[in-house]
Amino acid sequence: MDDIKGKVCVTGASGFLASWLVKRLLLAGYRVTGTVRDPGDDKKLAHLWKLEGAKERLKLVRADLMEEGSFDEAIKGCQASKAYHSYWDIRLYLFLICYSQQAEILEPAVKGTLNVLHSCKRSRTLRRVVLTSSSSTVRARDDFDPTVPLDESSWTSVELCEKLQIWYVLSKTLAEKAAWEFCDEYGIDLVTVLPSFVVGPSLPPELCSTASDVLGLLKGETEKFQWHGRMGYVHIDDVALCHILVYERKDCHGRYICSSRVMDNDELASLLSSRYPLLPLPQRFERLNRPYYEFNTSKLTSLGFKFKSIQEMFDDCIASFVKQGYLSFVQQ
Ligand SMILES: NC(=O)c1ccc[n+]([C@@H]2O[C@H](COP(=O)([O-])OP(=O)(O)OC[C@H]3O[C@@H](n4cnc5c(N)ncnc54)[C@H](OP(=O)(O)O)[C@@H]3O)[C@@H](O)[C@H]2O)c1
């Protein structure tokens, strides 16, 4: 099977999204090189070594986004076979809260992306780079018609991000723009995946910030979702499958919004309350002055891609919280 699928590389392999992607790639028969900052951290990486096929086809190597040339070795390691495919899922590791300091988030996002792309440029066998961007790079603007769903042609306004001080959104937007400029200049085949808020089981035992936000909501906290307001949601498995699809399909190009459904926080809380009556979900959120929007995901669905429902993503997420001991048993 390895001979058919070849080798791929996933950066930041221990993270929430990346771990699930590694799982899916191994199940699909790929040989995977994952980059992590500390390959000796057995506790942090145990969930990866437990994946089906990991012992035979997973290799973890050290790389740091902020160290120049750090990713060269991982790329080199992917150049062995003739049937080689180099696959880069560049992750930016920056799902920070919106009011983080500007400098803390912007510089690593853009610099880290370009650092990995420089390593890609030095590779002679690289086939395609798949960059995990975010649907937030599409929707933060104040000049669109709310009756027309936003598609991949839409770009977040840098000026609006600065005005509202939404540094995470700005960092993702600038990083994706920088990636497009760099790849255009050096002829690198880039495809970007733009997930909305990712929900689903967490393979790493430590919860990332999005998973912690969801856990908070399920325990009755309002603060984070109050701020998120209206948002798109997508199952973690769909995000991984989308990365693999756009890597494998030669005809894929450009950006792909990956989002199952956009909902207001009130609507989400009421749906979850009726599905999980024992959970102390918030009943009401203060309505912030945010524009209504929908996403047009036809670029992805026209390839035959089918999104899992909101119910499925929260059922799977809640089951995993219960299994990991973050929630006690909740009857559905
Ligand atoms: N989660 C979402 O809802 C969502 C939605 C849209 C887009 N995204 C994007 O998807 C990507 C992953 O998000 P996530 O939620 O999966 O994040 P996550 O779980 O927090 O992943 C963080 C990973 O980043 C690695 N990392 C941090 N600093 C690093 C550095 N300097 N050099 C190398 N690696 C570093 C860490 O790995 P080590 O500590 O092992 O090195 C960690 O495993 C991000 O780019 C995010 O913007 C996420």
For the stretch 241-276, pLDDT in tens is: 999 999 999 999 999 999 999 999 999 999 999 999
Give, using CA atoms, the residue closest to atom 18 of ligand 1.
Answer: 15
Closest approach atom of ligand 1 to CA 108: 31
Q: Is the pTM of this model over 0.85?
A: yes
Give strand ranges (E) for the chain: 7-10, 31-36, 58-62, 86-90, 126-132, 190-195, 197-199, 231-235, 254-258, 261-263
Question: What is the torsional sign of CA 130, 75, 250, 235?
Answer: negative
Cα–Cα distance measured from residue 112 to residue 102, given in angstroms and rounded to the nearest whole number: 15
CA of 204 to the centre of ligand 1 (A): 12
Average pLDDT of the residues in 145-165: 96
Average pLDDT of the residues in 41-57: 96
CA of 147 to the centre of ligand 1 (A): 33
Q: Quote the mean pLDDT of the chain.
A: 88
Q: Ligand 1 pocket check: which of 20, 95, 210 to mutate, most ligand atoms within 8 Å of Cβ?
A: 95
- Report pLDDT for 82: 32
Give, using CA atoms, the residue closest to atom 42 of ligand 1.
Answer: 15
With a CB cutoff of 8 Å and minimum separation 6, the contacts of 181 are none
The answer, yes or no, to whether residue 146 has pLDDT greater than 50, is: yes
**Alpha helix locations (H) across 96-231?**
102-122, 136-139, 158-164, 167-186, 209-218, 223-228
Looking only at the bridges linking them, the beta strands covering 197-199 and 231-235 are parallel
- Report pLDDT for 75: 72
- Cα 177 to chain centroid distance, Å, stands at 17
CA of 103 to the centre of ligand 1 (A): 18
- Report pLDDT for 85: 39
- Report pLDDT for 83: 32
- Name the one residue in this structure whose structure tokens are 């995470």: 168
CA of 92 to the centre of ligand 1 (A): 6
- Report pLDDT for 23: 97
Least confident of 14-23, 97-106, 308-317: 97-106
For the stretch 193-231, pLDDT in tens is: 999 999 999 999 999 999 999 999 999 999 889 888 899
Residue 236: closest CA among 118, 132, 165, 136: 132
Residue 164: closest CA among 196, 136, 193: 136
Domains, the chain, ordered by start? 2-323 (3.40.50.720)
CA of 208 to the centre of ligand 1 (A): 8
- Quick check: helix, strand or coil at residue 250? coil
Average pLDDT of the residues in 71-75: 81
For the stretch 275-293, pLDDT in tens is: 999 999 998 888 888 889 9
Cα–Cα distance measured from residue 161 to residue 169, given in angstroms and rounded to the nearest whole number: 7
Residues having CB within 6 Å of any atom of ligand 1 = 12, 14-18, 36-37, 64-66, 91-95, 132, 134, 172, 195, 197-198, 208, 210
Answer for the pair 211, 204: CB distance below 8 angstroms, yes or no.
Answer: no
Looking at the chain, the whole-number percentage of residues with pLDDT higher than 70 is 89
Average pLDDT of the residues in 44-69: 94
